[in-house]
Homo-oligomer: A and B are copies of this chain.
């Protein structure tokens, strides 16, 4: 069906972005990975690669945000879930696939990628901040703690990737757990 091709292309694009980054992923790569017909690229994405990138990252942002606050539990659980999710992802993909938002936000990524990524980061920051406030943390500190957790996990994913070891991410997860537990006491 028509939307099936679109969805397949977006899904493959996200996977490739996580693996090689946005700039190093070509249109042909996405076509090949998705098995989409070669001639239908500009039919589905008349705006070309910019549109594909933009839509793929937006889609990834929705996915990450949904995954982030899927359960209505506390902030410590949200952070732990976020880190644990990427520990599993790194192991599942043999350290090939990181966070799509990071791939989109990092140096060199065009605005089509970085703007939706920034929006998604802002969204999960708001979610986590609100969860902390509801748990009794003062607003300013809640924002700082949320930033710390997101920054640390995203940074640790990159470190774990380059070292091909989950240790950095696991260490980060544990430290964050202690920090959050202490802040909520």
Which residues on A are within 8 Å of B, measured CB to CB? 17-25, 98, 102-103, 105-109, 114, 117-118, 121-122, 143-145, 147-148, 150-156, 158-159, 161-163, 167-168, 171-172, 174-176, 179
Contact = CB atoms under 8 A, between A and B. Distances in A.
A103 B105 contact: no
> Can you tell how many copies of this chain the complex includes?
2
Given A107-B98, A147-B172, A171-B147, A121 B159 contact: yes
A176 B148 contact: yes
B159 A151 contact: yes
B151 A156 contact: yes
Interface of A: prevailing SS? helix
Nearest to A148: B175
Contact of A152 (B20, B25, B148): B148
Contact of A155 (B17, B151, B163): B151
Contacts of A121: 159, 162-163
Contacts of A167: 147
Contacts of A159: 105, 121, 147, 150-151, 154
A20 B145 CA distance: 29
A105 B118 CA distance: 20
23 contacts: A21-B106, A22-B108, A23-B108, A25-B108, A98-B107, A103-B106, A106-B158, A118-B163, A121-B162, A143-B171, A144-B172, A147-B167, A148-B152, A148-B172, A148-B175, A148-B176, A151-B151, A151-B153, A151-B156, A152-B152, A152-B172, A154-B158, A179-B179
